Amino acid sequence: MHFSEFYWNPPGSGFFYFAAILFVRLTLLSSSNRAVKVFSAPEIND
């Protein structure tokens, strides 16, 4: 097995790929405070 093959298709790649995308999305949302504003106080506009 070449390193490139292991990198693009590691064991359980489906789960880790999904987890990575979900983690990135949550990180981007939290960093922009968009998720906090939407879920905590949607009726308040800063």
Confidence tier at 20 by pLDDT (50, 70, 90): confident
Q: Model-level pTM?
A: 0.38
Locus of tokens 């292991």: 6
Confidence tier at 11 by pLDDT (50, 70, 90): low
| Structure confidence by residue, pLDDT tens digits, 22-37 | 888 888 776 666 555 6
Q: Which residues of 3-41 are buried (b: 16+ CB within 10 A; e: fewer)?
A: eeeeeeeeeeeeeeeeeeeeeeeeeeeeeeeeeeeeeee
What are the structure tokens assigned to 17, written together? Answer: 């790929």
Higher pLDDT, 21 or 32: 21
